[in-house]
Structure 1
């Protein structure tokens, strides 16, 4: 079972540990955590994250979104996962695919340097658990989470449940952060493309050929760090690729 973090000041935070892998094992806790913006995390919340093993924050937001909300004793790595490539984003902003998994595969295929930057930041981070986040902890965070889960050989069912947790947390997020997270719009966009949140994520996850992508775009040390979750697990059980 996935580990709920229960952090004061976060409503969409969870550890990616406890998820079923295709070999019957589960992902380890304390390696990767995901969340929304950290601006409301209290001192008690930070203490709880430290106790959970947090060592590094990977902030996936654009430079204009960044805030100085992380205590100085916790390492921070900034990675603009979206980027500003207008040739990619213009149409996806127009039809609102940006708020759904419908853009994920195009992003990793057409803007590989963006994901590469995030994976390199993870691979080279200091010892300790890593929490990655964006604004809602839903879209950019969802993309990176899907990649990390696929790298660990997490089953489609378990990865999908993790993605859908953000929908379940939407009301609590809206109350905590005093803003809408556009659930109705997300559902409407997915419906226009013939999908539900579940079917859109499952389709993307099934078609994500991560072994081929890693072989093409990252070095061997980074690939090894990602597929072993920084040494916490063996390579994905269904993978036959040797990194490097």
Structure 2
């Protein structure tokens, strides 16, 4: 889950945690929904996600999703099970990658790395945005995007490293029009609005070292001690 979350955290995009079984009205509050490793797909979830995407939402999901039903039994008919039509891919098989190994992945002209598992993907309407660079599935899709109605689904077939996840998810953040804040590495920025409309900005230095932030939020330089928190 952290691999999927980090690109949002790095760009200071707020993220909520919700149940996989929430209704369509709840999902429609969000420009993008991330369902990382959604192994168990309960009844109604696929239908709700499909309608969310059709109406303009963006779904990000990936490897090991749609494998079990609500009884924790393996689904029949291929992976990602009930999400297959929505994702526009058929995962023919899942190759396990040794803990100390990785697979090269090419995206946007650069090479990044995948680990843990590699989904051998057969597109069924989805477009390829990244490909594997090795093993018997070299040249096949490692990540795809599928347009459904007014929205789209991004499927990530392997546990990409930080650079790879950013390469896939950053364009989604930009396309959704999410407000981002460029802060130094390790500095987290959060904004919360009170009932009376007052906006509180919290700056946290999660790094174990002092950080000097030039031209910070108010245009002035900001010096933060290790693990310091400021509310502005």
Q: TM-score, normalised by structure 1?
A: 0.31
**Greater gyration radius:** 2
Q: Which has the higher contact order (CA 8 A, sep 6+)?
A: 1
Higher helix share: 1
**Which structure dedicates a bigger proportion of its chain to strand?**
2
Q: TM-score, normalised by structure 2?
A: 0.32
